[in-house]
A and B are shown apart, each in its own frame.
Chain A
Amino acid sequence: MKLRTLRRHLRDAFRSFLRNGWMSFASVATVAITLFLVGVFILAALNIDHLARQTESQVEISIYLKMDTSQDEIRKIEADLNNLPHVHSVRFVPREEGLAWLKETYADEADLFVGLDEDNPLPDAFFIKTDEPARTAELAQTIQSWPQVETVRYAQEEVAKLLEITTVIRQIMLVVVIGLALTATFLISNTIKLTIVSRREEVEVMRLVGASKWYIRMPYFIEGALIGLLGAGIPLLLLVYLYQQYVENTEILSMSVLSMQSVTVPLIVALFGIGLLIGIWGSLSSIRKFLRT
């Protein structure tokens, strides 16, 4: 396509965008609302994902030994643990220490622990951390199979729950966004229809003198894309601003939140991508219906 042609198409597209006034506005607004929600969902999903990962990485594997484990065996287990791949740190808590910790933690209910000093029900325990959260489950399984190991625990449930929330959010987002996107597409296709109808004479002449199909369609594509991109830009700015505020406020609480930089790129890609898609899809459906070429 020649530069002059492109300029002409762009000019035509902008003109119709302005001429269609309220319809253009309604289309842009619907796209903007859709994409604002998409953005909120993306931010939430990214952060929960991040939180899950972090929790996972902080996860300790607790290894409780059988009551009859001897000191020699304990030393051997400690050595074996240190030799395992992806083990970052190994901490041994003897049963007496475990009881002392319990007493301290639940000092208010001291009577619960009466007599336990003589007959300590707690096992000796190891607490290990991995350098790769994804290996946690695998490691836990290996250790579980050792002869002197009674039980192995790690914060499986918490991680699973977080990941579950992310999945639910994704599903809700999918339904809401698809619904809104369809509305936006419908509105855009109606806006483009207005343009096509108002230019019927011109299109007729173009067809007659042999303008190519793509030449005739291009301004409507551009108009659709313009609506989509504008509808993406507005919520993008808004979300960036709001997220900035959020990050600043949560910093005080030292909560684990993704930084501005790490969310900006996925946000831009998703919003402009979906916006463009909705815009072009909307114009395409209108062109198919109202523009015989």
Chain B
Amino acid sequence: MLIEMQHVFKTYKNGVVALSDITLSIDKGEFVYLIGPSGAGKSTWIKLLYREELPSKGKMLVNGFDFSRFKSRHTHRLRRTIGVVFQDYRLIERLTVEENIAFAMEVVEAPARDIRRRVNELLYLVGLKAHAKRFPRELSGGEQQRVAIARALANKPELLIADEPTGNLDYENSLQIIKLLEEINLQGTTVVMATHDRDIVNRFRRRVLELSEGRLLRDEAKGVYDRQ
């Protein structure tokens, strides 16, 4: 089991209940859509996974890390097993495409030779070998998101989390991103993707987790966007 949650609650300091009584488990190698309207708790749920937020109550296990016995000074260890991608890419503007990818490995002190090899590998995977020396602002949105995905994969995480990765992209580019995520998933990485994109969810049928007002409304294998 890669992700395990038992009766997890999240209440923010201001009293807002973002998640309540979430129980679910995700296996290694799965591809999961997380859907639901804005404010349903998708972002909070994702932040819990990489300990950007801490659960208020309940048991959680991610990539073998038991959150009930977790020391916060070890947060970086958990994060090295997780790749995260956002709607707004969050690339470093002053670095080129290859430097952006390498950055993720440099800051965890990977050996220089490994970094060169891995960056090359990833550039091929996301199809941006030709753009290696370009800066983010010279790329289209879809290309920038592919750089972000490459960066998220740099340290070979077991789990890739994508928070609305196609939110800023047109349909064509969104398709490309999904195909890339599918390929990554085929290579063994577990993928969790929060999305609003009805077409994508309906076209590439996968397990669907639907959140509504902080509760898990639906957990359906090969689900569609709208409940039938």
**Nearest Cβ in chain A — how far from B53, in angstroms?**
12
Kindly report which residue of chain B lies nearest to residue A215, judged by CB atoms.
B107
Kindly list chain B residues whose C-beta atoms are within 8 Å of the C-beta of A210.
76-82, 108, 155
Q: Taking the complex as formed, is A8 at the interface, i.e. its CB lies under 8 A from any CB of chain B? A: yes
Contact with B along A203-217 (1 / 0, CB 8 A): 011111111110110
**Known: A2-B109, A8-B106, A215-B107. Is A209-B90 also a contact (CB below 8 A)?**
no
Q: Taking the complex as formed, is A202 at the interface, i.e. its CB lies under 8 A from any CB of chain B? A: yes
Is the CB–CB distance between A201 and B92 below 8 Å? yes
Q: Taking the complex as formed, is A288 at the interface, i.e. its CB lies under 8 A from any CB of chain B? A: no
Contact with B along A1-23 (1 / 0, CB 8 A): 01011001000000000000000
Kindly report which residue of chain A lies nearest to residue B79, judged by CB atoms.
A210
Is the CB–CB distance between B79 and A215 below 8 Å? no
How far is B159's CA from A210's CA once the two chains are assembled, in angstroms? 13
Kindly list chain B residues whose C-beta atoms are within 8 Å of the C-beta of A216.
107
How far is B124's CA from A38's CA once the two chains are assembled, in angstroms? 60
Q: Taking the complex as formed, is B154 at the interface, i.e. its CB lies under 8 A from any CB of chain A? A: yes
Is the CB–CB distance between B108 and A201 below 8 Å? no
Kindly list chain A residues whose C-beta atoms are within 8 Å of the C-beta of B78.
210
Kindly report which residue of chain A lies nearest to residue B76, judged by CB atoms.
A210
Question: Main SS of chain B's interface residues?
Answer: mixed
With beta carbons under 8 angstroms apart, the residue of B73, B79, B106 that contacts A208 is: B79
Is the CB–CB distance between B92 and A209 below 8 Å? no
With beta carbons under 8 angstroms apart, the residue of A8, A204, A209 that contacts B155 is: A209
Is the CB–CB distance between A207 and B79 below 8 Å? yes
With beta carbons under 8 angstroms apart, the residue of B92, B109, B151 that contacts A215 is: B109
Is the CB–CB distance between B50 and A209 below 8 Å? no
Kindly list chain A residues whose C-beta atoms are within 8 Å of the C-beta of B79.
207-210
How far is B76's CA from A280's CA once the two chains are assembled, in angstroms? 24
Kindly list chain B residues whose C-beta atoms are within 8 Å of the C-beta of A213.
73, 76
Chain B contact-residue range equals 20 to 34
Kindly list chain B residues whose C-beta atoms are within 8 Å of the C-beta of A208.
50, 79, 84, 90
Kindly report which residue of chain A lies nearest to residue B95, judged by CB atoms.
A202
**Nearest Cβ in chain B — how far from A216, in angstroms?**
8
**Nearest Cβ in chain B — how far from A252, in angstroms?**
60
Kindly report which residue of chain B lies nearest to residue A207, judged by CB atoms.
B79
Q: Taking the complex as formed, is B61 at the interface, i.e. its CB lies under 8 A from any CB of chain A? A: no
Q: Taking the complex as formed, is B104 at the interface, i.e. its CB lies under 8 A from any CB of chain A? A: yes
Kindly list chain A residues whose C-beta atoms are within 8 Å of the C-beta of B139.
none
How far is B103's CA from A206's CA once the two chains are assembled, in angstroms? 8
Q: Taking the complex as formed, is B112 at the interface, i.e. its CB lies under 8 A from any CB of chain A? A: yes
**Nearest Cβ in chain B — how far from A41, in angstroms?**
41
Kindly report which residue of chain B lies nearest to residue A8, judged by CB atoms.
B106
With beta carbons under 8 angstroms apart, the residue of B76, B92, B93 that contacts A211 is: B76
**Nearest Cβ in chain B — how far from A201, in angstroms?**
6
Kindly list chain A residues whose C-beta atoms are within 8 Å of the C-beta of B82.
210
How far is B112's CA from A142's CA once the two chains are assembled, in angstroms? 77
Is the CB–CB distance between B73 and A205 below 8 Å? no
Beta-carbon contacts under 8 Å, A216-265 to B: 216
Kindly list chain A residues whose C-beta atoms are within 8 Å of the C-beta of B107.
205-206, 209, 211, 215-216
Is the CB–CB distance between A209 and B109 below 8 Å? no
Kindly list chain A residues whose C-beta atoms are within 8 Å of the C-beta of B84.
208
Is the CB–CB distance between B104 and A205 below 8 Å? yes
**Known: A2-B109, A209-B104, A211-B108. Is A201-B90 also a contact (CB below 8 A)?**
yes
Contacts A201-B92, A205-B92, A207-B79 known; 12 new A-B pairs at CB < 8 A: A4-B109, A8-B106, A201-B93, A202-B103, A204-B90, A205-B103, A205-B107, A205-B151, A206-B107, A208-B90, A209-B104, A209-B155
Q: Which 10 A-B pairs have the closest CB atoms?
A: A210-B79, A210-B80, A211-B107, A209-B104, A210-B76, A206-B107, A212-B76, A208-B84, A5-B109, A202-B92
Question: A-side interface residues toward B, CB under 8 Å?
Answer: 2, 4-5, 8, 201-202, 204-213, 215-216
In the complex, 21 of the A-B residue pairs with CB atoms within 8 angstroms, ordered by the A residue number, are A2-B109, A8-B106, A202-B103, A204-B90, A205-B107, A205-B151, A206-B107, A208-B79, A208-B84, A209-B79, A209-B80, A209-B83, A209-B104, A209-B108, A209-B152, A209-B155, A210-B77, A210-B155, A211-B76, A212-B108, A213-B73
